[in-house]
Amino acid sequence: MFKKDHFTFGLLLGLIAPLAGLLLFKLTKFESFTIGETLQFMMNESGYRTLTAALSVSLLANATLFTIYINKKVDKTAKGIFVTTLVYGLFILLIKTFY
């Protein structure tokens, strides 16, 4: 898995890893709530502070994958991960700036 060098594979990993990070955030911070209750709280909270914190923390999963692939010199996959990280980062920045 760490030797596959395809840009689209990196995009796919970059999309999935933050979702796993969000799940990890939910399991650690909101363990007694369902996923639906957690999402409802995050979406209804003023300023979306918990949502943007969760999304920011979830990007650490991408940073970890990016570091692994760069160190293994699997550059095309790392580029795909980097692109999705930028998109997620811009999305978080837009939420923090305009809401």
List, for residues 41-90, the tens digit of each pLDDT value.
999 998 888 988 898 888 999 999 999 999 999 999 999 999 999 999 89
What is the average per-residue pLDDT within 21-45?
Answer: 93
* Cα 14 from Cα 81, distance rounded (Å): 4
Is pLDDT larger for residue 11 or for residue 57?
11
Which pTM does this prediction carry? Answer: 0.84
Q: What gap in Å lies between CA 17 and CA 40, rounded to an integer?
A: 22
Inform me whether the pLDDT recorded for 33 exceeds 80. Answer: yes
